[in-house]
Amino acid sequence: MSVDVLLGLQWGDEGKGKIVDVLAPQYHMVARFQGGPNAGHTLEFDGIKHVLHQIPSGIFRSDIKNVIGNGVVLDPVIFRKEVEALNQRGVDVKSNLFVSNRAHLIFPTHGLLDACYEQSKGNQKIGSTLKGIGPTYQDKIARVGLRVGDILATDFKSRYRSLVERHQSVLNFYEFPHDLEEKEDVFFQSIDYLRQFHITDTAYLVNHALSDNQTVLAEGAQGSLLDIDFGSYPFVTSSNTMIAGVCSGLGIAPSRIKEVYGIFKAYCTRVGSGPFPTELLDETGEKLRKVGQEYGATTGRPRRCGWLDLPALKYAIMINGATQLFMMKADVLNDFEDIKVCTHYKLSNGDITDELPYDIKRQEIEPVYHTLSGWKQALDGMENFGQMPHELVQYVNYLEEQLQVPIGIVSIGPDREQTIKRAEISTG
Ligand code: GDP
Ligand code: IMO
Ligand code: MG
């Protein structure tokens, strides 16, 4: 069978965790293909709220296999905490989770290097989550990193030590104060813990499942505008968050991919630095943040908020070939008289465009807005699209017309149940 992909079309935090959890029962397997504990994916059901960082969001469904693919960078310390928190909720992680032996390991020194590089950037900081993501991918590309499979080798400690020495020479060069001893104790205990899990070649696992007529949902982390190649570089993360990352991060062929679900909020948010053309620094932005509870699931930082940005969304749809769209957090707009949508950018030379410029940060961009009427009512208890207020239907219709891709889900609250499917979602 085939692989369907769920990926973020904005700057992350679109609600990927919620939707993967909602769709998971339609699949045999859920697989994360990139990123690491910089992600924070929130799930809510039966009155509980759970945030996952590295473990796929299918983990609460006991009959589904969950895979951490080779494209992920894994922090064993955070992994252990995540598993223990899930065990406390009665989730059997061990039997349903498969970790790629090719996934690269995040060491304590990767986190220190992240902080050190950020500090050295002065006022050009990326606003990294400081989870060691960039330095770990850097080692992977430099061909010096260590992988999960290496923890099973007898010389793991000595290989660990020689990489750490390289890291320390950089930290010393920057005169970055660090104390590793305590962190290393916890790290090695967590490595021992990780050894008990299914560590395997997940490319075979996934491809054998596909050959056995099973379906796979690939779960993205971050969002397309944080993609290392196509995002707002350098204010991006260090992996391919877009569709291409699915093939390289799981070991599957492009011809295996069927549906590409692109997920976006009914407005925009961004956490960390970097360009954000529709950002609202006024009370409207503050209202979006307050009503949408826009605070980072990983770092707790307030998220920057603004109106929906169609040029950026069209670009993300284009590079990913999104076949269906899911619109999240519609309920956050319940109490707005008017809702604005940016349709074009006016550039500093007077040109008007609906394309994303190469280097947004040096461009003076003025968003050109289209205004729609708000619905000014709560959506609580609504169960189908027919019950939606007229203005919300108009908003969805307008976006479909602009984006030329159907919007299959409108989400009206954080809970699993607060999910309006406009039609049956077609799956691979
Ligand atoms: P992810 O990283 O894409 O999984 O998204 P996050 O979990 O970081 O952020 C999304 C936040 O919005 C979480 O707190 C979710 O519980 C919440 N959320 C998801 N869908 C909705 C929705 O439709 N309405 C509201 N109000 N909150 C939602
Ligand atoms: P999920 O999967 C939102 C942002 C950081 C920073 C930049 C680089 O929950 O959507 P990094 O730690 O990768 O060096 O940070 O990317 N960022 C995210 N923003 N959601 C995320 O993940 C993010 N992961 C990283 O804030 O600006
Ligand atoms: Mg998140």
Q: Is the CB of 15 under 6 A from ligand 1?
A: yes
Residue with the two structure tokens 């296999």: 65
Report how far Cα 203 is from the mean position of its chain's Cα atoms.
Answer: 21
Convert the pLDDT of each residue in 336-382 to its tens digit.
999 999 999 999 889 999 999 998 877 789 999 999 999 999 999 99
In this prediction, residues 265-291 reach a mean pLDDT of 97
In this prediction, residues 254-283 reach a mean pLDDT of 97
Convert the pLDDT of each residue in 56-66 to its tens digit.
999 999 999 99
CA of 39 to the centre of ligand 3 (A): 5
pLDDT at 359 (0 to 100) = 85
Convert the pLDDT of each residue in 80-109 to its tens digit.
999 999 999 999 999 999 999 999 999 999
Convert the pLDDT of each residue in 380-390 to its tens digit.
999 999 999 99
pLDDT at 347 (0 to 100) = 93
Catalytic residues: 13, 41
Q: Is the CB of 334 under 6 A from ligand 1?
A: no
Dihedral, CA of residue 93, residue 99, residue 104 and residue 107, to nearest 10: 30
Asked if residue 277 has a cis previous peptide bond (ω within 30° of 0), the answer is no
Convert the pLDDT of each residue in 2-37 to its tens digit.
999 999 999 999 999 999 999 999 999 999 999 999
State the closest ligand 2 atom to the C-alpha of 274, by its place in the atom list counted from 1.
Answer: 27
Whether pTM exceeds 0.85: yes
Residue with the two structure tokens 């010096």: 144
Q: Minimal CA–CA distance to 28: which of 98, 84, 87, 104? A: 98
C-alpha 345/C-alpha 342 separation (Å) is: 8
pLDDT band at 298 (very low <50, low <70, confident <90, very high): confident
Which residues' Cβ are closer than 6 Å to ligand 2? 8, 11-13, 35, 38-41, 126-129, 131, 133-134, 221-223, 226, 237, 271-272, 297
State the closest ligand 2 atom to the C-alpha of 114, by its place in the atom list counted from 1.
Answer: 14
Q: Which residues of 58-84 are buried (b: 16+ CB within 10 A; e: fewer)?
A: bbbbeebbbbbbbbbbbbbbbbbebbe
